[in-house]
Chains A and B, each alone.
Chain A
Amino acid sequence: MNRYLKYLTGKLKWYILTFFIAVFLNFFLPRFIPGNPVSALVAQMAGGGASSDVLDKLYNSYIQEFGLDKPWYTQFINYVLKVFHGDLGISFSLYPTKVNTILSHALPWTIALQAPAILIGWIIGNLLGALAAYKKGKFDSAFFPLALFINSIPYYCLAIILLYLFGVLLDVFPIGGGYSMQLIPSFSITFLIDALKHYLLPFFSLILVTIGGQAIGMREMSIYELNTDYVRYAKLLGISEKKITRYVFKNAMLPQITGLAISLGTMVGGALITEIVFSYPGIGTWLFNGIRQQDYPLIQGGTLVITMAVLLANFLIDIVYGIVDPRIRMAQMEE
């Protein structure tokens, strides 16, 4: 247990360092933008016919909030302190809404869209991939190119094609949004059915790609395992086919499980563009809005949330692996 603790603290230190670097990049990169983003923004708002009183107030509050008169390291420390208090600042485009509020409304939509697509797609994909490797012959030669083709269509292109086919041409699904405009989000039956209708199309576009990718990976791993010496030896010994396949697929599954953990980590940032295509009210759509309106706090908040999700997932994988597989622990200790 002592050793494990040592492994864990080592990992934790590394992740804290990575987190700081991520926060630093998040803070620093948008500061390369030439000119003062605040005055550009205020000028942009003046075009919208806002009164000068409001503009002054806006300008001062932004300058104060960012402490733009202070040196950059003071700004950075303030930014980090705010991040640690869970404060991502105030949105430019939806002033005076907090970025926290926007993102915490967006995150459940993204997770509700991605988590089931990844999990179900992973299960179906692995079953199909294993089947293709096992059956070979006609099934494999029909299945493999199809899976490869689906996998090489970028997920957002597939989304656009599905949107046109089922949303416009056949008109069976709504073509955008998370729910109908006239409804207010609640847990009523009408709302849930409506939300489900909006959900299915983006869901299918994501799950198809997941199935394709997982099936190819699993097929490859299974073929590799089926050709190993221990399988040949087991066959020579006359061990039943059923028993062998069980061992083969158990071994082939290992890397696939890592893959699942990683995709769950990249979940928040993984479907940004699918959300844009379907104007689904998740993180991606808000990031897109932020970029279009040069809303830097919103962009920074979005990218930070995506990064933190990935870091957290990786850390969890490391914790679990440390428990499950002592070899990994040892290898890491040596580094």
Chain B
Amino acid sequence: MKLLKTLLKSKKFIIGLCVFLLLLFGSLIFTTISSHDPAEMIGFLYEPPSKEHLLGTDNFGRDVLIELIYGMKTSIYVGLLSGIIATFIGTTIGTTAGYLGKTIDNILNSITNLFLVIPSFVILILLSVSLRSRSLTLLAMIIGITSWPWTARAVRAQTSSLKTREHVNMAKLNGEGYVEIVLKEILPYMLSYIFMVFVLQVASGILSEAGLSMLGLGPSNTISLGKMLSWALLYEAVRTGAWWAFIPPALTIAIITFSLLYMNTGMDEVFNPRLRS
């Protein structure tokens, strides 16, 4: 609660949050009340924007605007789910390694370093290639399980410095166990940091989905912003000048990630006052 109050002081955070929530709820509300089928072919290939179809049609003759709204929903869904998974794994491994130390720390730290060096996008490509059918949730899960190492490393460092504090020692004397101490005495002190990491993970999850889609490894049977871009590139939208097929999804991805990064910058300034020049 106190955290939220501090955050609301930052103009950047509020602007970023508002834009993100607007896009999220806008696409959620539209897709629940609308009777449009985004996959329905309502016209010919690459019809320019008109009154009926504000952003024209794509290579399959589908309404770009409706696709865009559905794509926004799937992209944000992938981002949020992968962000939650990555933050959860990273925080769990980081606190465990940092708090328990010794052998467990050695093992976990080696694993973390290993996955920091082997490029996660490569593992992502290899995993996606080996899956014949990729549902949205599955895709979000593999993005999540390949992008936790940075979080783990940073959380580990913070945990090992926090665990030497007085109140942690008090809890230990009270006979509290490791899980209890981590949850009650250590995590609350890094909450602001973990939230910042989560926001960044959401942004990078959205980018990973779009990147994978453009490599031809996107979710099966779904529309996402990345898949719209990949269709536009494959079916020569650029060459034929059908800008409405690729500029809107590219800008939408840019706006979503910008809103998240702007939130992050705002939080950074609130939590690290030195940056407020």
Which A residues lie at the B interface, using CB under 8 A?
Answer: 14, 18, 21-22, 25-26, 29-34, 133, 136, 140, 148-149, 151-154, 156-158, 160-161, 163-164, 167-169, 175, 220, 223-224, 226-227, 266, 269, 272-273, 276-277, 287-288, 291-292, 296, 299-300, 303, 306-307, 310-311, 314, 335
Contact = CB atoms under 8 A, between A and B. Distances in A.
Contacts of B277: 133, 136, 140, 223, 226-227
A307 B118 contact: yes
A152 B252 CA distance: 12
B173 interface: no
Given A164-B246, A291-B217, A156 B211 contact: yes
A310 B117 CA distance: 7
Given A29-B126, A307-B119, A310-B118, A164 B215 contact: no
A168 B238 contact: yes
B239 interface: yes
A146 to B, nearest CB: 12
B207 interface: yes
B125 A227 contact: no
Interface stretch (B150-158, B189-197, B253-261): B253-261
A29 B243 CA distance: 38
Q: Which of A34, A167, A227, A273 has the most CB of B within 10 A?
A: A273
A160 B246 contact: yes
Contacts of A287: 125, 215
Given A33-B130, A303-B126, A152 B257 contact: yes
A30 B109 CA distance: 27
Nearest to B265: A148
Contacts of A277: 214, 233
A269 to B, nearest CB: 6
B118 A18 contact: yes
Given A269-B121, A273-B215, A292-B216, A152 B126 contact: no
B8 interface: no
Contacts of B131: 32
Given A224-B274, A314-B117, A157 B132 contact: no
Contacts, number: 138
B262 interface: yes
A218 to B, nearest CB: 13
A161 B114 CA distance: 36
Given A220-B275, A287-B215, A296 B129 contact: yes
A31 B130 contact: yes
Contacts of A140: 277
Contacts of A220: 275
A299 B274 contact: no
Given A272-B215, A300-B126, 20 more contacts: A21-B114, A21-B118, A33-B129, A34-B132, A133-B277, A152-B254, A153-B254, A153-B257, A156-B214, A158-B254, A175-B239, A223-B275, A266-B119, A272-B121, A273-B215, A288-B216, A292-B216, A303-B122, A310-B119, A311-B117
B254 A148 contact: no
B188 interface: no
A152 B122 contact: no
A30 B130 contact: yes
Contacts of B113: 14
B21 interface: no
19 contacts: A18-B117, A33-B130, A133-B277, A152-B257, A154-B253, A156-B210, A156-B214, A157-B229, A157-B253, A220-B275, A223-B277, A227-B274, A269-B121, A272-B211, A272-B215, A299-B129, A306-B119, A311-B117, A335-B109
B230 to A, nearest CB: 9
A164 B238 CA distance: 6
A167 B238 contact: yes
Nearest to B133: A34
A34 B132 CA distance: 7
Interface in B233-272: 233, 238-239, 241, 243, 246-247, 250-251, 253-254, 257-258, 260-262, 265
Contacts of B106: 335
A306 B274 CA distance: 38
B123 interface: yes
